[in-house]
Amino acid sequence: MRHRRLLAAGAVGTVVVAAALGISSAAGAAPSASAPRASAPRDEGAPDSLRALAAKIGLRIGTAVIPFDLNTPAYRDIVADQFSVVTPGNEMKWQVVEPTRGTYDWSGGDRLVKFAEEHGQLVRGHTLLWHNQLPAWLTTGVANGTISDTELRALLHKHVIDEVTHFKGKIWQWDVANEFFTDSNPSGINPNDFWVSHLGAGIIAEAFRWAHQADPHALLFYNDYNIAGEDGTNAKSDAVYAWLRQMLAEGVPINGVGDQGHLDTQYGFPTQMTQDLRRYASLGLKVAITEADVRTFVNNPTAQVPTDHLATFAQPYEFSQMLKACLAVRQCISFTVWGFGDADSWIPGFFTGEGYATIYDVNLQPKPAYFDLQQDLQLAAYGAPHRVHTDQH
């Protein structure tokens, strides 16, 4: 078993809130010859692989990757064979790329980009503006007053420009801003967010403008959890939709919205997901499922065997329904699972007693969820076969 684990963008916020608890012109910009092109995913590998089947309808099927786990042959082969877009789990976050002020470490991100280029894959950059996984020198400086708000803004500007410029022409989608809305009803931009509390809510739009300045051809996404009905009330989706509409009216270069898609079998499937994805698309935005996993209660964090046998049916069902929501919306351009193997999942380390959240087990063997996704993509790619002829009329 590998010792590195993926960290989810959602951290504490990815707990699904059950009902019981209380573009601008840039949106349509065409990629240049030097920018990643996604109109025709390469149909490579086995014809029944997830990536090959998804390619038939122009969908990118993806996974979050731990770049240095690519040293493991079985892990590397699955990434190459099954997925056509990859996301670094941690290696493009500020804490990792600038651990010491003024000293960058691009090694993890560069390695993943190189792997993607070698295997006909595209890359989702993740993430430029988030309250978590910030470098200690930054948060300490802000806390003790040695970094003023004016300097903080300048540092953020430099970070966005430097990182997007470093990867310019190599990133298909950037998660520019991540998790800014509250889980309350009504929802809204969180005034206590690290960035909002110091620089105001307008800093989100600024980050999109800076990213667009650095790479005008990358697709720029707002990414969040519980924004496709997972909260049971749709309050968060309503708030994000209203904010996106306002930002687009103001000319902010937002190209897409990503619903993370962290689900839990105990809450059931969010039935408004397709509707909410369509609503975002109606604004002229691309949409994506960016961090899909479906957790359930397990015996222990190592074996991750579900404690309720019905969960072995519910877990793949919810994965399938999530993919179908994407398939139903033409503007849904990618479906990414947040790591494909249970051994690397962030779930057991964060949700006590839960796991079994991905599509491969702890031994990197495909689970029922994998086969359900494969079947859904087969039907999407080829349709159901016509019935055999009979003599009956």
Judging by DSSP bridges, how do beta strands 286-297 and 354-355 pair with one another?
A: antiparallel
How is domain 11-27+35-382 classified at the CATH fold level?
TIM Barrel (3.20.20)
Gap between the Cα atoms of 117 and 264, Å rounded: 34
Question: In terms of residues, how long is the chain?
Answer: 393
Q: Give pLDDT, residue 390.
A: 86
Q: Give pLDDT, residue 391.
A: 79
* Cα 109 → chain centroid: 16
Q: Give pLDDT, residue 4.
A: 52
Q: Give pLDDT, residue 9.
A: 58
Q: Give pLDDT, residue 150.
A: 98
DSSP alpha helix (H) spans, the chain: 50-55, 73-82, 94-97, 107-118, 136-144, 149-166, 194-199, 202-214, 235-249, 273-281, 311-327, 347-350, 368-382
* Cα 188 → chain centroid: 21
Walk along the chain (393 residues) in steps of 10 and give the mean pLDDT of each run: 56 37 33 47 75 98 94 97 98 98 97 98 98 98 98 98 98 98 97 98 98 98 98 96 98 98 96 98 98 98 97 98 98 98 97 98 98 98 91 71
Q: What is the pLDDT of residues 177-203, one digit of tens each?
A: 999 999 999 999 999 999 999 999 999
Catalytic position from the list 230, 291, 318, 354: 291
179: annotated active-site residue: yes
Domain ranges of the chain: 11-27+35-382
Gap between the Cα atoms of 241 and 246, Å rounded: 9
Q: Give pLDDT, residue 208.
A: 99
Gap between the Cα atoms of 230 and 73, Å rounded: 36
Gap between the Cα atoms of 244 and 89, Å rounded: 25
Q: Give pLDDT, residue 192.
A: 98
Cα R_g (the chain), whole angstroms: 20
pTM of the model: 0.91
Q: Give pLDDT, residue 325.
A: 98
Catalytic position from the list 91, 98, 163, 179: 179
Tokens 């074996």: give the residue: 303
Q: Give pLDDT, residue 165.
A: 98
98: annotated active-site residue: no
Helical axes 149-166 vs 202-214, angle rounded to 10°: 30
The percentage of residues in the chain with a pLDDT greater than 70, rounded to a whole number, is 89
